Amino acid sequence: MTRLQQIHYSEDSFEAQSVISALTNDDVALISGVEQDIADDLIFSVCELLGLDESLELQAGFASIQGHRQTRNDFYMTVNRRRPYQFIPPHSEGSSFSKMQLAAFYCIENSTDGGETILWHVNANATDWNHLKEKKRKCKVIGTLTDADKHKIRTSYQLDVDSDRLLQDEEILTSQKIHENVTMYEVLSKPEKTHSIILDSYQYAYWDSISSLDHDCAIRFQEYCKRQSLLKVCSNNSFPMDNAAQRRLRNFGVNFDELFDHTVIHKLQPGQLIIFNNISWAHSAANWTPDSGVRNVVGAFA
Ligand SMILES: [Fe+2]
């Protein structure tokens, strides 16, 4: 059974509600025949129906301010730059702080010999979460803070001083005094469920802040790509394949067979827009042989 619901776009008959139906069924929506400017209207109308339109605008705004991604049209941004032979192991965009609900990728060109999009549905009954960790910011506060201080800390450090207090069982990685009354810690914390607006339920998400710490995430993904004949290998092994190699801390032993219960493999074609729940589905991308073609895929998040 595939969980990829294919929808063909036509100006007269397309209804954003068909995408909502796929999403509330926890399926992936793949819309074909979408011109680049229509892709903007389309993602906006889907987000509007879900009450995520403000979040969509905010995310596109952040991306252009921070400059780590360039924006395309109104809401799409370039995906992270890839060095030769690099792949992107599974992750949900963002963290339990950002609680990003929806992800979409639009394909402008994908003429390489690889670059398949692979989506992974999180198994709600997995017990694997017990040994995974999320990298989070926590704090200790002495005395009181004004609302203005709290707001400033929230926007500058992505830290909620009221709810993000350091817990005893959290492993501290770094500490930094960010206010005379506040010390901020980077810690390894137990993953917690996040509310999915689309499904109206609490779910674990394989956030980037969980997956990118774990060497095993990249190892398991490389093995998976090899088994599926999706791995392109450099003849002299001179290029590291894992795009997040520098952020990985240790082996947390993730087991994809337990963590995920369904995968969708799809090589996006020009004019295709793929939309899915960013909490219940993690995304990844296979690598390709350098100079085999161009992969120009842009993403939108809300
Ligand atoms: Fe991503």
Q: Could you read off the pLDDT of 77-127 as tens digits, one per residue?
A: 888 788 899 999 999 999 999 999 999 999 999 999 999 999 999 998 898
**Domain check: are 224 and 274 in the same one?**
yes
Q: At what angle do helices 36-50 and 53-66 cross, to 10 degrees?
A: 130
Distance of CA 94 to the CA centre of its chain: 6
| 202-211 confidence digits (pLDDT tens) | 999 999 999 9
**Domain check: are 119 and 26 in the same one?**
yes
In 3D space, the residue among 281, 274, 286, 261 whose CA is nearest the CA of residue 207 turns out to be 281
Amino acid in the structure at residue 106: Y
Cα–ligand 1 centroid distance for 106 (angstroms): 13
**Looking at residue 286, which CATH number applies to its domain?**
3.60.130
Cα–ligand 1 centroid distance for 231 (angstroms): 19
- In the block, tokens 């999180």 appear at 122
**Domain check: are 22 and 155 in the same one?**
no
Does residue 68 have a pLDDT over 60? no
User: Do 104 and 274 contact (CB within 8 A), yes or no?
Assistant: yes
User: Do 248 and 216 contact (CB within 8 A), yes or no?
Assistant: no
Does residue 76 have a pLDDT over 60? yes
User: What is the mean predicted confidence (pLDDT) over 34-52?
Assistant: 95
- Please report which confidence band the pLDDT of residue 130 belongs to, taking 50, 70 and 90 as the band edges: confident
Cα–ligand 1 centroid distance for 79 (angstroms): 7
| 46-59 confidence digits (pLDDT tens) | 999 999 999 999 99
Alpha helices in 130-191 (DSSP H): 147-157
Domain, as residue range, for 153: 134-189
**Domain check: are 75 and 151 in the same one?**
no
Cα–ligand 1 centroid distance for 95 (angstroms): 11
User: What is the mean predicted confidence (pLDDT) over 162-182?
Assistant: 96
**Domain check: are 243 and 263 in the same one?**
yes
Residue 158 to residue 207: CA distance in whole angstroms: 16
User: Do 252 and 88 contact (CB within 8 A), yes or no?
Assistant: no
| 245-278 confidence digits (pLDDT tens) | 889 999 999 999 999 999 999 999 999 999 999 9
Does residue 290 have a pLDDT over 80? yes
Cα–ligand 1 centroid distance for 94 (angstroms): 8
Residue 225 to residue 219: CA distance in whole angstroms: 10
Domain boundary among 171, 189, 207: 189
In 3D space, the residue among 225, 267, 266 whose CA is nearest the CA of residue 86 turns out to be 225
State the total domains in the chain. 2
What percent of the chain is modeled with pLDDT above 70?
96
Q: Are strands 117-122 and 260-266 parallel, antiparallel or unpaired?
A: antiparallel
What percent of the chain is modeled with pLDDT above 90?
83
Does residue 161 have a pLDDT over 80? yes
Q: What is the pLDDT of residue 69?
A: 58
**Domain check: are 101 and 170 in the same one?**
no
